[in-house]
Amino acid sequence: MKTYRGYLLDLDGTVYRGKEVIPGAAEFIRHLRENNVPYLFLTNNSAATAGQVAERLQAMGIAASADEVYTSAMAAAHYLAEHASPGTPVYAIGEEGLRAELTRHGFVLTEEAPRYVIVGIDRAFTYEKLTVAARAIRAGATLIATNRDAALPSENGLSPGNGSLVAAVSVASGQEPVVIGKPEPIIVRLALEKLGTVAEETLLVGDNLFTDIDAGARSGIDTLHVLTGFSSAEDALNHPNRPTHTAADLSEWLRRISP
């Protein structure tokens, strides 16, 4: 079997479900640490900071640090830094994770004549925020979305995801967004730069064919579909982008790669 020198790991449905760790996930991550195999937790979550994501993992008994987390908010701010200089005015719809990353990169958060409108999940989204965003975009601002996830899993079922907010802003402004998060290749490219491995030697692991597996396919990176979350093995048979590997969970994959 091909030896992978780096891993990009999805979280919800791959490492944990809700507040519960998926059996075998902690052991697999421990294996990577003990064998000095670099990895990043790659998530479309833009609400939380990397530190908050790491703290959540630690509370579940999984060793994690902020340096091992890469969020769609981090990727959006990084992408924007490639196209605009510090001090550029931007309007952000989003929560702490997105706002903190934009500020860290030196962007000015404002409603006054922003050059970019960045949309991340915002559970305090209002008609007023939609109006500010749409008017800014119609005046020339560029629309960027941290991700286009239609729904988010919760203890009470599916809740509207960031894609719902992006759709509202896009319709109101008449502009399609630049999308950063999975399944788009932008977040994978930036994550690989942070990880320090090349695509040919890296494996992207996830449970969702439409985000994780498609992200790998669009980025020229091998994928591992774990059957612990959103998509089933039967789903994969009919999916346009077939995963490179399939495993019941991370413990099965660990057994395969262990000598």
Helices 25-34 and 250-257 cross at an angle (nearest 10°) of 40
**How large is the C-alpha radius of gyration of the chain?**
18
Indicate if 10 belongs to the active site: yes
Catalytic residue among 10, 207, 214, 222: 10
> With b meaning 16 or more CB within 10 Å and e meaning fewer, what string describes 49-88?
bbebbbebbeebebebeeebbbbbbbbbbbbbbeebeeeb
Indicate if 214 belongs to the active site: no
How far apart are the C-alpha atoms of 200 and 18, rounded to whole Å?
32
Catalytic residue among 12, 212, 214, 249: 12
Quick one: which of 246, 157, 234, 155 has its CA closest to 203?
246
CB 118 within 8 A of CB 109: no
The catalytic residues are 10, 12
